[in-house]
Structure 1
Amino acid sequence: MAKSALVQPFATFCKNIKSNEKTNTYVKSNYKKHKSEQKMNIVTICGGKSCEHDISVITACQARGHFGDKLYGIYLDKNNVPYLVGNDVAPRDFGKRKRRVVFCFGEQSFRVRRGIFLGKPVHIDVVVNCCHGLCGEDGSVAALCALLGVPLVGSDIFSSAIAMDKVLTKYVLRTLRMPVLPYTVVTKGQTDFIDVSLPTVVKPARLGSSIGVKLCRTREELVAALDTAFCYDDKVLCEDAIDDFAELNCSAFRTCGAVRTSRVDSPTTVHDILTFEDKYLVGDKGMATSDNPPPPDSVTRRVRQLTERIYTELGFSGVVRVDYLFDKRRNKLYVNEINSVPGSLAYGLWKDDYGMTEFGAVLVKQAIDDFAAHAELTTAFDSSVLTCDTGNGGAKTR
């Protein structure tokens, strides 16, 4: 299916210079090494200055079981300062960091700082993005990998940014004629909420894990919910609520040149909507599956078709999860949210099809294949602009 010109990824932004022989040698040697199943240095990045910081740490710890090569864990503290953490460190001990990391842009490596000295460079073959929320899932880690010049298990800068912003996601999905619920956008400082119809679900635009999300049936509840949501973001989505619905989840990644979709799951809750506690404080902390009866086959097929189309049209890579709302009364399906870094890498939706290390190997292969292909793109343009004698340092004159 042809990508929409509006949302296809800007691949050339993040790629290495074609004429750079060092870069091409790196890509080819690592691709060859990957194909021969030699050990690689795989780096997970988690944490960060985000309300979803703690969930990100859990995802990184669970990701250890997927990557059997030489694994390095880099933890971003709540001020985004990077530290190296051992693979045996428990989630509650990530904050007890001691080894400060310095990234070496353009050199595919990092160093550990010891006082005023830097250790030997540690080569990076692949980065796995385990960050949730701002300063990670929003394209920040993708930008870091672009500067480092390394493959990423995860989506690029632009598709990540679209998925992170719920309002932007709605705009793009509507442009692609995909089903979304009616909604109103409210910005901080706005005092007129007359366009918000009740009941409504209030959501901070750039936050996940159900933090700051509230179902409102009255104007009083709406005002209180907006006050809470504006503590997290200056832009809030108010989405029309459905009385009788099921939430459906489906994951996707690309392998062997084709997008594959997972089974469809329907998580449960005793609350009006799925809460932070439902997702992370009960069950398997992000690997949520349910005993709910499966949705009708026609709905399952539609969910998987939409998931594949979303993955393709928005140019995602790595593993993503798309959440849907199914209106039981009207028999209508709506795209709810897109998670470019799903909790636990969405392995709960794939564990019947892939072993843990097999799942990781598929994701790493996609990352390296994509990186090797994109490295052939030209990202340099030779010109005489900087050397021409114009009398004003090469600046354009009229």
Structure 2
Amino acid sequence: MAGGLKRRIGPLLLTAYGLGVMVGAGIYVLVGTVAASAGIWAPVAFLSAGVIAGLSALSYAEFATRVPEAAGAASYIEEGLGLRWLGLVCGLAVALSGMVSAAAVLRGGVGYLVGIVPLPEMAAILVLGALLTFVAILGVLESLSLAALLTVVEVAGLLIAGWAGFSAEPAADWQSPSPPVWTGLAAATALAFFAFIGFEDMANMTEEVKTPARTVPLGIIAALVLTTLLYAFVTTAAVRAVPAEELAASRQPLALVWAKGSGLSPVWLSAIAVAAALNGVLAQIVMAARVLFGLGRRHPSLAVFHRAHARFGTPVLASLLAGAGTVTGALLLPVDRLADLTSTLLLAVFALVNLALILIKRRAPESDFRLPSWVPAAGLVTALAALAASLWLPQ
């Protein structure tokens, strides 16, 4: 079982991996929940969240070239702040957030699935969770190739749904919009941040990326820009076509947008939403397993997870734990609570990563990929502001 991870990932596959997990989490599952808080201004919430995420994503990109390890944020915080215990706590929080995120997306995807096929929800969660865990164990190239294929399918579905939304008769609140409720918009922005957590996943794949100093920053930036453009397009189409209250009440919000705009059955779009959810779940299981693998290198108490299968080149035990945590979360908690918890955990970690980069840049300015000092400073401020919103403003 002992062995190292294999470098098999190039820039296109890494970008597709990040794009898939970001798009799958943010649009197909969360658009209705964000609309419940922000109303017609939901696109602004997603765009604001993209800006906040972009600053922290750039900090991750620089750190990935400085500390190219699978542990990601845990190793960044240890190196920047010199606090091993804090790195361990943050690493475990990131691994937990990956499982929680995967659980939220799995539960949302099953919501679309049972709308197409009359299946017991609990059984669908168990079977799909087990199958995706098996794929994650089979190999990183196999996992990310499947993820890339699903990403193409889900982006096509988003473009078609957006077209339908812009073809529909405009909703009443779109034609006569109310002024934004700023507390609701701020809370929605904090929740929408959940949609952009894919860059954290990408940074944790560093040990399996070819030429990581070039590929990881390029992949993170490309995936974030493409995702933000898709969010702006699709969320605007959704609130234009469907009143925010209807979006908020629907478990299949984009299927509702399609039905409004085309007058046709939304079954095919629900099927694409299931594919998107599977993509997001697979990506998060893979990420959480890599974090546990990296923590096992740095912390003897977790050394059992720092083992890769000799043939598959994947951390089997860590993948099994990530899969089990995902299924458990999907069975026990609702989507909006899962998303809230993930956002809160990661915003705290992102603030610490930005602080760690500020400190390490002062000690060692040179890096293969180097940002201006204001970037991590702005990332720290915006992450703290979003964290405050997620904790104290009503959702």
Instruction: Give the TM-score range, shorter chain.
Output: under 0.3
TM (norm. structure 1) is: 0.27
User: Which of 1 and 2 has higher RCO (CA within 8 Å, sep 6+)?
Assistant: 2
More helix by share: 2
**Which of the two has greater strand per residue?**
1
